[in-house]
Amino acid sequence: MAQTADKRVERSKAAVLFETYRQLTQGGISGVSIDEVSRVSGVSKTTIYRHWPSRSALLIDACSRLGNAHQAPDTGTLRGDLHALAMNLAEQLQTAAWASVYPSIIDAAERDPEIAAMQCELHKGFMAPFHAIAERAKTRGEMPLGKPATDLIAAIVGPLFYRRWFSKEAIDDRFTEAIIEAAIKLALRQEHG
């Protein structure tokens, strides 16, 4: 009996998350309506709020399914690793569902501290492979130990994000490769003095 009830709960939760995720990828965070989630999933609002205490809590749960963690490549050189990561990111920005949802999270994070904390975690997950390859480049002596990996990350990820969401220009291989070269020069440069 308890098992059957557990299964029913799991099924309800899955239906709610599925519909929330669908609305999220279609209309961004502001496009998610709990009334509509309840109607489509057939799960009452009372039950929804029993599992997720607030709209933000449900959104956070759905958003956490947006990005799948990426393994850090290990090609043996910083250039090779950056190339693999940047090409993959460029591809995803132009095809993956999360790319059209992420601006709505960034927007909500400007005003909602719960969403801001969730965005911070999502961002950390997205950037983990970059930190991993920078660490290895430092261990190999390829990158100066005192150089912050975050500068390198900003110099690669920033221009790609900018093209996808702000200038809406094409992200072709020529562009991505030029950005990688510039970022490597930044990463390997010794500080003055």
Q: Which residues bind a copy of itself (CB under 8 A)?
A: 27-28, 30-31, 100, 103-104, 106-107, 110-111, 120, 123, 127, 150-151, 153-155, 157-163, 165-169, 175, 178-179, 181-183, 185-186, 189
Structure tokens at 101: 């949802």
Q: How far is the CB of 97 from a copy of itself (least distance, A)?
A: 12
Q: Give the residue with the Cβ less far from a copy of itself, 39 or 189.
A: 189
Q: 3-state class of 191 per DSSP?
A: coil
Residue 9 carries which side chain, given as an amino acid letter?
A: V
Q: 3-state class of 67 per DSSP?
A: coil
Q: Give the residue with the Cβ less far from a copy of itself, 43 or 156.
A: 156
Burial (0-12, 13-18, 19+ Cβ within 10 Å), 106: middle
Structure tokens at 41: 């999933």
CA torsion 130-183-119-16 (nearest 10°) is: -70
Q: Give the residue with the Cβ less far from a copy of itself, 15 or 106.
A: 106
Q: Give the residue with the Cβ less far from a copy of itself, 2 or 168.
A: 168
Q: How far is the CB of 152 from a copy of itself (least distance, A)?
A: 10
Q: How far is the CB of 104 from a copy of itself (least distance, A)?
A: 5
Q: How far is the CB of 6 from a copy of itself (least distance, A)?
A: 38
Structure tokens at 184: 């490597």
